[in-house]
């Protein structure tokens, strides 16, 4: 006779075999009920019968290190009652019951729902689903390779597959960006930090939390002790690197002033352990789990960019135009990086290009030796501003790589130029400072000197104001005298929103004179990346169209396709305009009367509502309520 307890025992034994009950980890297995307050709240009215009363999954599994995930198990003795067609009979079927509980708990957690039926190991049937926090519907939990999970696996593997689910990634990113505003306001109101100190506190704290000793002990320090220990652990992590002491001092120095900031060491009525303790606690709970998992994401740079949005002043005048993450990724595809590439970021800022390049190259690594070479020799950067240099260094520390190949100083300094050339980089990436009044610091000067640091045949990629492509400048002639202009792509007008800089991407082959190459330059019209403006989240890929747009761009670029209205090849020299708009011919062959009427209608509507800034494509601004 079927007995559900037998199925539960099989699951329990398997969980024991996989160390779920081990005292050596922080995984917590609860049976039938939970002591977690949020779980208790949502199960209080989660009876499968629908008549009210408490619901009780067979197993509820959680971990303090991944607080936004839960695993719930629902068991049935008979495999005939594994799953209904409509998933709407939670009392009778294992899958239906597991999804019932997941729906209740997904109001606050990402829930992995496991349904198990059968009374022997050989007959057991297992199905795995994930209900992402806030999502309307669950879906099957798949491996990163897209395969179904039909066995009980270790906690770490469930979390890895769940973490890389696209919906989970998107939700976690959105929560992180929402938290950045909360963090900015907290630091403004309670910590009294300057704008330049805020991102340093974030990066320094993440470095300190990288040390497991600090992550476990920071809660025990008094407010006065915590500041000293905060700097101590930052210094300890930096000192672990096998690099010259002068570089270690350069990395550490910007954090020193924060370590003695008077407001951070004070105990207050609201925060008896001090403001710094509260900040570390917030970052440990909200940010560290994200950065410890998503190594391809420039968290430090993203927070820096978010903080800039909330501050006054003219960001454009500062020359601060941080590269969006999807554009940094685009650079790696344009460069067609290999596992043995050597990438130079000539003005690395917070290290966004280096982070994206490392991620792209690591995906191609086959052996541990490949990974070691990428970390030790594959990434080179230079940054002049001490604070930005510290942010870039922290980015590399958090990924265990590249610290020895970061140079602090001017990228024009002869000693640094000599050091950069010695690395023999075959790929260069640059987003130079914009709007510099000094002609010696024109964007094209940075591009020229970056190209000069690459090996012959290397690929140099730059994103610069469109005026560099359309306005005459003597540096353009000098660049073409020594290097080949392979391609220029016109980018979206609002790419750097809220900074109003219209840009293009230029691609060069280093140390092959343009005239000698005797080839046409490819011009792409890449004005629509699918991103839209939102009032509080900036430009986002709201409709999920970026991956397909990106892939179509890269395919057209690599094949040098000529596409009416979108891409063209043209022989140019330094006197010509370097942009697609100058050479594209509009394809009217598919234009209909209906298309014309639609465009007129859009224009009339635009004129009527122009004052509220609601238009299409680059000019679109959407209220957050519409996103929800």
- The widest CA-to-CA distance across the chain, in whole angstroms, is 89
Tokens 């999920």 found at: 544
pLDDT of residue 378: 93
Cα gap 2→119, rounded to integer Å: 8
pLDDT of residue 599: 63
pLDDT of residue 614: 34
pLDDT of residue 328: 93
pLDDT of residue 314: 38
Note whether 350 and 301 are within 8 A (CB): yes
Phi and psi, residue 539, nearest 5° = -85, 130
Cα gap 432→307, rounded to integer Å: 20
pLDDT of residue 616: 39
Nearest to 279 by CA among 352, 189, 386, 350: 189
pLDDT of residue 611: 38
When pLDDT is averaged across residues 573-582 and rounded to a whole number, the result is 95
* Beta-bridge mates of residue 137: none
Q: Provide CB contacts within 8 A for 227, sequence distance 6+.
A: 259, 260, 261, 264, 265, 276
Q: Which helix (H) or strand (E) holds 538?
A: strand 538-540
pLDDT of residue 387: 84
Is the pLDDT reported for residue 612 higher than 50? no
Strand 538-540's sheet: what is its strand order? Answer: 538-540, 532-534, 621-622
pLDDT of residue 318: 40
Note whether 226 and 261 are within 8 A (CB): no
Note whether 461 and 506 are within 8 A (CB): yes
Write out the two tokens for 564. Answer: 């009416």
When pLDDT is averaged across residues 138-164 and rounded to a whole number, the result is 90
Write out the two tokens for 590. Answer: 């598919």
Q: Which residue has the higher pLDDT, 613 or 74?
A: 74
For residue 350, say if its preceding peptide bond is cis, omega within 30 degrees of 0. Answer: no
Is the pLDDT reported for residue 593 higher than 90? no
pLDDT of residue 536: 66
Nearest to 334 by CA among 183, 163, 556, 127: 556
Note whether 457 and 426 are within 8 A (CB): yes
Nearest to 99 by CA among 117, 111, 107: 111
Write out the two tokens for 269. Answer: 């009525």
Mind listing the pLDDT tens digit for each residue in 312-364? 433 443 445 678 889 999 999 999 999 999 999 999 988 889 989 998 998 89
Write out the two tokens for 237. Answer: 């992590």
Mind listing the pLDDT tens digit for each residue in 614-626? 333 444 555 554 4
- Please tell me whether the overall predicted TM-score, pTM, comes out greater than 0.85 for this model: no
Write out the two tokens for 117. Answer: 């039926």
pLDDT of residue 609: 41
pLDDT of residue 187: 87
pLDDT of residue 316: 41
Q: Which helix (H) or strand (E) holds 556?
A: helix 546-559
Note whether 79 and 118 are within 8 A (CB): yes
Q: Tally helices (H) and strands (E) across the chain.
A: 25, 18
Q: Which residue has the higher pLDDT, 397 or 354?
A: 354
Question: Domain segments of the chain: what residues?
Answer: 4-163, 165-313+337-431, 593-627
pLDDT of residue 291: 74
Is the pLDDT reported for residue 583 higher than 50? yes
Is the pLDDT reported for residue 410 higher than 60? yes
Tokens 């970026």 found at: 546
CATH 3.30.70 for the 4-163 domain, yes or no:
no
When pLDDT is averaged across residues 73-93 and rounded to a whole number, the result is 96
Percent of the chain with pLDDT over 70: 87
pLDDT band, residue 311 (cuts 50/70/90) = low
Cα gap 95→86, rounded to integer Å: 10
CA distances from 134 to 114, 171, 175, 263 (A): 19, 9, 12, 37
pLDDT of residue 6: 95
pLDDT of residue 435: 65
Cα gap 71→60, rounded to integer Å: 6
pLDDT band, residue 366 (cuts 50/70/90) = confident
* Beta-bridge mates of residue 569: 522
Cα gap 444→477, rounded to integer Å: 11
Q: Which residue has the higher pLDDT, 301 or 376?
A: 376
Beta 521-525 vs 139-140: how paired, if at all? unpaired
Cα gap 281→278, rounded to integer Å: 5
Cα gap 443→454, rounded to integer Å: 18
Cα gap 379→404, rounded to integer Å: 9
Mind listing the pLDDT tens digit for each residue in 429-464? 999 987 656 667 899 999 999 999 999 999 999 999
The segment with the largest mean pLDDT, out of 348-357, 380-389, 462-471, 587-596, is: 462-471
Nearest to 515 by CA among 486, 488, 487, 484: 484
Cα gap 50→368, rounded to integer Å: 54
When pLDDT is averaged across residues 403-416 and rounded to a whole number, the result is 87
Q: Which DSSP string do the residues of 115-147 spell out, in sequence order?
A: EEE-SSTTT-EEEEEEE-TT-SS-EE-B-TTS-
When pLDDT is averaged across residues 206-210 and rounded to a whole number, the result is 89
When pLDDT is averaged across residues 501-506 and rounded to a whole number, the result is 94
Is the pLDDT reported for residue 481 higher than 90? yes
Is the pLDDT reported for residue 219 higher than 70? yes
* Mean pLDDT of the chain, nearest integer: 86
- Classified as helix, coil or strand, 167 is helix
Percent of the chain with pLDDT over 90: 54
Q: Which DSSP string do the residues of 319-334 spell out, in sequence order?
A: T--PPPHHHHHHHHHH
Q: Which of 78-82, 360-364, 568-572 has the lowest mean pLDDT?
A: 360-364
Is the pLDDT reported for residue 295 higher than 70? no
Nearest to 193 by CA among 303, 325, 320: 303
pLDDT of residue 623: 57
Note whether 279 and 187 are within 8 A (CB): yes
Cα gap 598→382, rounded to integer Å: 50
Cα gap 375→368, rounded to integer Å: 11
Is the pLDDT reported for residue 308 higher than 80? no
């Amino acid at each position: 006779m079927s007995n559900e307890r037998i199925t539960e025992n099989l699951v329990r034994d398997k969980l024991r075999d996989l160390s779920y009950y081990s005292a050596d980890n922080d995984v917590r297995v609860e049976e039938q009920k939970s002591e977690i307050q949020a779980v208790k709240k949502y199960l209080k009215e989660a009876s499968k019968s629908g008549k009210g009363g408490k619901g009780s999954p067979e197993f509820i599994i959680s971990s303090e290190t991944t607080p936004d995930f839960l695993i719930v198990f629902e068991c049935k003795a008979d495999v005939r009652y594994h799953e209904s067609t409509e998933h709407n009979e939670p009392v009778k079927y294992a899958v239906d019951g597991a999804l019932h509980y997941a729906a209740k708990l997904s109001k606050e957690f990402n829930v992995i729902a496991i349904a198990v039926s059968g009374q022997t190991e050989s007959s057991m049937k297992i199905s795995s689903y994930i209900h992402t926090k806030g999502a309307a519907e669950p879906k099957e939990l798949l491996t990163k390779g897209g395969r179904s999970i039909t066995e009980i696996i270790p906690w770490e593997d469930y979390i890895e597959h769940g973490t890389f689910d696209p919906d989970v990634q998107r939700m976690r990113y959105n929560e992180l960006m929402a938290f950045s505003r909360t963090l900015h306001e907290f630091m403004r109101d309670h910590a009294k930090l300057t704008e330049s100190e805020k991102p340093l506190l974030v990066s320094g704290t993440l470095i300190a939390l990288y040390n497991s000793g600090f992550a476990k002990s920071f809660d025990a320090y008094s407010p006065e002790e915590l500041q000293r220990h905060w700097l101590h652990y930052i210094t300890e992590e930096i000192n672990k690197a096998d690099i010259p002491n002068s570089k270690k001092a350069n990395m550490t120095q910007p954090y020193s002033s924060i370590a003695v900031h008077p407001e951070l060491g004070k105990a207050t009525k609201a925060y008896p352990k001090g403001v710094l303790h509260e900040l570390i606690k917030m970052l440990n709970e909200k940010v560290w789990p994200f950065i410890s998992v998503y190594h391809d994401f420039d968290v430090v740079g993203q927070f820096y960019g978010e903080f800039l949005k909330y501050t006054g002043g003219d960001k454009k005048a500062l020359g601060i135009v941080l590269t969006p993450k999807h554009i940094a990724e685009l650079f790696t595809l344009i460069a067609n990086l290999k596992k043995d590439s050597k990438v130079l970021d000539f003005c690395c800022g917070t290290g966004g290009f280096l982070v994206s390049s490392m991620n792209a190259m690591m995906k191609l690594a086959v052996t541990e030796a490949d990974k070691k070479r990428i970390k030790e020799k594959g990434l080179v950067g230079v940054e002049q501003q001490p604070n930005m240099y510290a942010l870039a260094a922290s980015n590399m520390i958090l990924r265990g790589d590249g610290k020895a190949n970061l140079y602090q100083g001017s990228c024009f300094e002869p000693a640094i130029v000599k050091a950069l050339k010695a690395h023999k980089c075959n790929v260069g990436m640059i987003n130079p400072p914009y709007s510099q009044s000094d002609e010696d610091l024109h964007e094209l000067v940075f591009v020229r000197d970056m190209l000069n640091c690459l090996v012959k045949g290397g690929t140099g990629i730059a994103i610069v104001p469109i005026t560099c492509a359309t306005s005459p400048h003597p540096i353009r002639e000098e660049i073409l005298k020594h290097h080949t202009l392979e391609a220029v792509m016109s980018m979206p007008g609002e790419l750097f929103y809220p900074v109003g800089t219209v840009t293009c991407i230029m691609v060069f082959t280093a140390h092959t004179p343009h005239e000698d190459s005797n080839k046409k330059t490819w011009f792409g019209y890449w004005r629509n990346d699918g991103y839209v403006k939102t009032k509080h989240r900036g430009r986002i890929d709201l409709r999920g169209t970026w991956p397909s747009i990106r892939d179509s761009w890269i395919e057209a670029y690599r094949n040098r396709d000529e596409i009416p209205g979108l891409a063209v090849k043209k022989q140019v020299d330094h006197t010509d305009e370097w942009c697609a708009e100058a050479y594209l011919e509009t394809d009217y062959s598919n234009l209909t009367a209906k298309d014309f009427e639609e465009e007129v209608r859009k224009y009339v509507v635009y004129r009527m509502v122009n004052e509220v800034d609601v238009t299409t494509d680059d000019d679109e601004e959407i209220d957050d309520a519409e996103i929800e």
